[in-house]
C-alpha cells in the first residue's frame, strides 16, 4: 500500500488527530480522497457513489485549514476538531456551488441559491466537501437503483446493491472515497446501506438535526444523520450537525450532548438490552440471525442484562409506513411542476399550464416516485383518508406506545438492521413489495421518532451484516455507548475492523465479469 492509500483507510478521528499533530495536511488528505474517487468511482465497473465531485472547492477549504493551522494562535485553537477532514454529502441536501439533483431528472442541472443548515455547519467547521453522493430518486428506494443517474455498486460485491436510499454515501465509506458523509433516513436510508456495506450509519432522534435544506420525502419521518466507518466517527459528526435550528420548527430546542464521550465508553455492565421479539425470525436470512445472536452473546458476556421484549404492533408498522410516507411525499413533491425551477417539459403543440405541469411530472419523475405519489394521493383522498392515513396514524401511536413500554424495561433495543445481506443488482427492481420488506426492522424507529444506529456485525456468506441499536427519544448517547461496546468487542475478536476486510477494489474490478443490472445503466460521467 502506498502512503495515501493508508491515509484514506484511517478513521475520521484518526485523520483529525494527525491533522492536529501536523503529521499530515488537509490538502494531502483531501487530495488522497479525490485520487481514490478518480481511481474507483468511474468507469463501467466503477462504484459510482458520486453524482458530482467538487475538487476545487474541497482543496481550497483544505488549504484554508492548513493555513490557519500553520499560522497557529487563537484561530488555530478555535478550529473544529474535525476541521480539514473531508466529507461527502447526499445529493438530496442542497448546496451552493454544486448541483443538487436528489437523483432525479426533475432537478438535473439545478443549482440551489442557499445552503442546507447542515451544509452551513460543515462549512463553518471547515470540512472540505468532496461532492454529492448518489441515492434513489428523492430518497425513495432501498437499493439506489432508482437513481435517475445510474445505480451505485456495493464495494463488497460489485454486482450487488449498496443499500438505499443512501447507497452512495455508504459505498463511499466502504470504498474509502470519504471518511464521513451525510445521509437522510426516512425508513432506514442511512442504517440499511450501512448494514449491507459493513459501515456505520445513525439516525438521530427526530429533531436532533435540522432538516432545513434537505429535500423532503416525508417530513414527519425524515431525519438527517451521520454516515461513517466507526461509531465514534458517527458520534463526532452528529455532534457537529446537531442542535436547534430556528429555521426548522420540528428541531429539538435542547441539543443532544455527550455523544462522542458515550461512544468512547465501552462498559456495558448493568446496561439493560432488549431483544425485540418481532424483529427476528420469519423473513430474516439465517446468516443474518447467526451474526445477530453472536452479537447478543458478546454483549451478555460483557456484562449487559439481556431480556426479550415484545412490541406487538410492529407487525403493522410497515403497512402504516407505506401510507404515511407516500401521503406526505405526494404533497412534498407537488412543488416540482416546472413553473419556478428545474426541468420544464412543454408538449409539442404547446399546452395549458395543467398540460405543462403534467408533461413535466410525467417526464421528470421515475417509476418508484410516481408509484408513491399516486399511492399517497389516493390515501389522502376524501372518503379514504380515515381508512388509510387516519388508520396509519393510529398504528403510529400504538408503535410509539410499544416502544415506551419496552423502554420502561430496558435501556436500548437490539435487532438485525436488515433482514438480508445485499441482494443482486436488478433482483428486486420489478418487485416493489419485496423491496419494501427490506425496511421492516428500520421503519419502526422513524414512526416513533427514536434514534437508531447500524454497526457491522460480521459477514454472512462473505457479505456484511448489520446490527441495529434503538434507544428512547433523546437517548442518542446511550445508543452510541451500546453500539460502540459491540463494535470494539467484535474488532477485538476479528483482530481488525470489518471494513478493513473489504475486497481490494482494484483487484475486484479487474477480475469480476460484467454483472447483471448494468445494461442501460451507464454509471459515472453524469454531472461530473
Q: Which ranges of 210-338 would DSSP assign to H, the alpha helix? A: 231-241, 259-263, 286-301, 317-332
Smallest distance from the beta carbon of 267 to another protein, in angstroms? 37
* Contact criterion met (CB below 8 Å) for 445 and 305: no
Partners of 275 in the beta sheet?
308, 414
Asked if 389 interacts with another protein (CB under 8 A), we say yes
Residues with Cβ within 8 Å of 67's Cβ and at least 6 positions away in sequence, in order, are none
Q: Which residues 425-484 are close enough to bind another protein by CB under 8 A? A: none
Catalytic site residue from 165, 184, 418, 454: 165
Angle between the 317-332 and 391-407 helix axes, to the nearest 10 degrees?
120
Asked if 382 interacts with another protein (CB under 8 A), we say yes
Asked if 167 interacts with another protein (CB under 8 A), we say no
Cα 479 to Cα 308, 473, 492, 524, distances in angstroms: 18, 10, 20, 36
Asked if 219 interacts with another protein (CB under 8 A), we say yes
Q: Tell me which of 4, 14, 220, 355 binds another protein, using CB under 8 A.
A: 220
Smallest distance from the beta carbon of 379 to another protein, in angstroms? 9
Asked if 340 interacts with another protein (CB under 8 A), we say yes
Closest CA to 48 of 478, 487, 516, 521: 521
Which pairs count as long-range contacts for 107-114, CB under 8 Å and 24+ apart, including other chains?
Answer: 107/336, 107/341, 107/342, 107/343, 108/148, 108/342, 108/343, 108/527, 109/343, 110/341, 110/342, 112/213, 114/213
Asked if 395 interacts with another protein (CB under 8 A), we say no
Smallest distance from the beta carbon of 110 to another protein, in angstroms? 8
Per-position DSSP letters for 112-146, written without gaps between them: -SS--HHHHHHHHTT--EEEEE--SGGG--SSSTT
Among this protein's residues, is 184 annotated catalytic?
Answer: no
In a 3-state reduction of DSSP, which class is residue 354? helix
Dig out the grid coordinates for 270 from the structure: 448493568
Size of residue set near another protein by CB under 8 A: 45
* Contact criterion met (CB below 8 Å) for 283 and 314: no
Dig out the grid coordinates for 30 from the structure: 483531501
Asked if 216 interacts with another protein (CB under 8 A), we say yes
Element (H, E) at 302: none
Smallest distance from the beta carbon of 189 to another protein, in angstroms? 16
Beta strands of 349-409 (E only): which ranges?
none
Q: Count the residues in the chain.
A: 528
Stretch that binds another protein, among 25-33, 282-290, 363-371, 375-383 (CB under 8 A): 375-383
Stretch that binds another protein, among 162-170, 211-219, 225-233, 403-411 (CB under 8 A): 211-219
Stretch that binds another protein, among 7-15, 93-101, 290-298, 513-521 (CB under 8 A): 93-101
Residues with Cβ within 8 Å of 420's Cβ and at least 6 positions away in sequence, in order, are 284, 285, 288, 438
**DSSP structure class, residue 482:** H
Smallest distance from the beta carbon of 392 to another protein, in angstroms? 11
Q: Tell me which of 94, 237, 262, 298 binds another protein, using CB under 8 A.
A: 94
Asked if 363 interacts with another protein (CB under 8 A), we say no
Q: Tell me which of 58, 148, 214, 304 binds another protein, using CB under 8 A.
A: 214
Stretch that binds another protein, among 67-75, 216-224, 277-285, 480-488 (CB under 8 A): 216-224
Smallest distance from the beta carbon of 436 to another protein, in angstroms? 21
Q: Tell me which of 38, 71, 334, 346 binds another protein, using CB under 8 A.
A: 334
Smallest distance from the beta carbon of 363 to another protein, in angstroms? 16
**DSSP structure class, residue 513:** P
Smallest distance from the beta carbon of 107 to another protein, in angstroms? 7
Stretch that binds another protein, among 65-73, 329-337, 395-403, 461-469 (CB under 8 A): 329-337
CA 190/CA 459 separation, integer angstroms = 19
165 upstream amide cis, omega within 30 of 0: yes
Catalytic site residue from 104, 189, 210, 454: 189
Dig out the grid coordinates for 350 from the structure: 404547446
Asked if 380 interacts with another protein (CB under 8 A), we say yes
Asked if 394 interacts with another protein (CB under 8 A), we say no
Among this protein's residues, is 165 annotated catalytic?
Answer: yes
Closest CA to 11 of 458, 64, 19, 486: 19
Smallest distance from the beta carbon of 222 to another protein, in angstroms? 9
Q: Tell me which of 66, 159, 278, 337 binds another protein, using CB under 8 A.
A: 337
Q: Using the minimum distance from each CB to another protein, give the nearer residue, 216 or 443.
A: 216
Q: Which residues 104-133 are close enough to bind another protein by CB under 8 A? A: 107, 110, 112-114, 116
Three-state SS across 178-244? CCEEEEEECCCCCHHHHHHHCCEEEECCCCCECCCCECCCCCCCCEEEEEECCHHHHHHHHHHHECC
Q: Which residues 240-299 are close enough to bind another protein by CB under 8 A? A: 246-250
**DSSP structure class, residue 304:** -
Among this protein's residues, is 310 annotated catalytic?
Answer: no
Asked if 339 interacts with another protein (CB under 8 A), we say yes
- State the residues that interact with another protein by CB under 8 A: 93-94, 100, 102, 107, 110, 112-114, 116, 211-216, 218-220, 246-250, 327-328, 330-331, 334-337, 339-341, 352-354, 357, 377, 380-382, 385, 389
Instruction: Please identify every residue annotated as catalytic.
Output: 90, 165, 189
Amino acid at each position: 500500500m502506498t502512503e495515501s492509500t493508508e491515509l484514506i483507510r484511517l478513521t475520521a478521528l484518526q485523520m483529525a488527530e494527525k491533522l492536529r499533530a501536523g503529521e499530515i495536511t488537509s490538502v494531502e488528505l483531501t487530495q488522497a480522497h479525490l485520487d481514490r474517487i478518480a481511481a474507483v468511482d468511474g468507469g463501467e465497473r466503477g462504484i459510482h457513489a458520486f453524482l458530482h465531485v467538487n475538487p476545487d472547492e474541497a482543496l481550497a477549504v483544505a488549504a484554508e485549514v492548513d493555513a490557519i493551522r500553520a499560522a497557529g494562535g487563537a484561530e488555530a485553537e478555535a478550529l473544529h476538531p474535525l476541521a480539514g477532514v473531508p466529507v461527502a454529502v447526499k445529493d438530496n441536501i442542497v448546496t451552493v456551488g454544486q448541483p443538487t439533483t436528489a437523483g432525479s431528472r426533475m432537478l438535473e442541472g439545478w443549482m440551489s441559491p442557499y445552503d442546507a443548515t447542515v451544509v452551513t455547519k460543515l462549512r463553518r467547521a471547515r470540512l472540505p466537501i468532496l461532492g454529492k453522493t448518489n441515492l434513489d430518486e428523492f430518497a425513495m428506494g432501498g437499493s439506489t437503483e432508482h437513481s435517475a443517474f445510474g445505480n451505485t455498486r456495493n464495494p463488497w460485491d460489485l454486482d450487488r446493491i449498496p443499500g438505499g436510499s443512501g447507497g452512495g454515501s455508504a459505498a463511499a465509506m466502504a470504498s474509502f472515497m470519504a471518511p464521513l458523509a451525510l445521509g437522510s433516513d426516512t425508513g432506514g436510508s442511512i442504517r440499511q446501506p450501512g448494514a449491507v456495506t459493513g459501515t456505520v450509519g445513525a439516525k438521530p432522534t427526530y429533531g436532533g438535526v435540522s432538516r432545513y435544506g434537505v429535500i423532503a420525502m416525508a417530513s414527519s419521518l425524515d431525519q438527517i444523520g451521520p454516515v461513517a466507518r466507526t461509531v465514534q466517527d458517527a458520534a463526532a459528526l452528529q455532534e457537529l450537525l446537531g442542535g436547534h435550528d430556528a429555521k426548522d420548527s420540528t428541531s429539538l430546542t435542547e441539543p443532544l450532548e455527550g455523544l462522542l464521550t458515550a461512544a468512547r465508553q465501552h462498559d456495558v455492565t448493568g446496561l439493560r438490552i432488549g431483544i425485540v421479539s418481532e424483529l427476528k425470525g420469519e423473513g430474516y436470512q439465517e446468516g443474518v440471525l447467526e451474526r445477530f445472536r453472536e452479537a447478543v452473546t458478546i454483549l451478555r458476556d460483557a456484562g449487559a442484562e439481556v431480556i426479550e421484549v415484545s412490541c406487538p404492533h410492529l407487525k403493522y408498522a410497515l403497512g402504516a409506513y407505506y401510507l404515511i410516507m407516500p401521503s406526505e411525499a405526494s404533497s412534498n413533491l407537488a412543488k416540482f411542476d416546472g413553473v419556478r425551477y428545474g426541468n420544464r417539459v412543454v408538449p409539442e403543440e404547446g399546452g395549458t399550464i395543467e398540460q405543462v405541469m403534467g408533461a413535466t411530472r410525467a417526464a421528470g419523475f421515475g417509476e418508484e416516485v410516481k408509484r408513491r405519489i399516486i399511492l399517497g394521493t389516493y390515501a389522502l383522498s376524501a372518503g379514504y383518508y380515515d381508512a388509510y392515513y387516519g388508520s396509519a396514524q393510529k398504528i403510529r401511536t400504538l408503535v410509539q406506545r410499544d416502544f415506551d413500554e419496552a423502554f420502561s424495561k430496558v435501556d436500548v433495543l437490539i435487532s438485525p438492521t436488515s433482514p438480508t445481506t445485499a441482494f443482486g443488482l436488478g433482483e428486486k427492481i420489478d418487485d416493489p413489495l419485496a423491496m419494501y420488506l427490506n425496511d421492516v426492522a428500520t421503519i419502526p424507529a422513524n414512526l416513533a421518532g427514536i434514534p437508531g444506529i447500524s454497526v457491522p456485525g460480521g459477514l454472512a456468506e462473505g457479505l456484511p451484516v448489520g446490527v441495529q441499536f434503538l434507544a428512547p427519544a433523546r437517548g442518542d448517547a446511550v445508543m452510541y455507548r451500546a453500539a460502540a461496546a459491540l463494535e470494539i468487542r467484535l474488532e477485538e475478536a476479528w483482530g481488525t475492523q470489518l471494513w478493513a476486510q473489504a475486497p481490494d477494489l482494484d483487484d475486484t474490478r479487474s477480475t469480476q465479469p460484467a454483472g447483471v443490472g448494468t445494461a442501460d445503466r451507464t454509471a459515472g460521467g453524469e454531472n461530473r
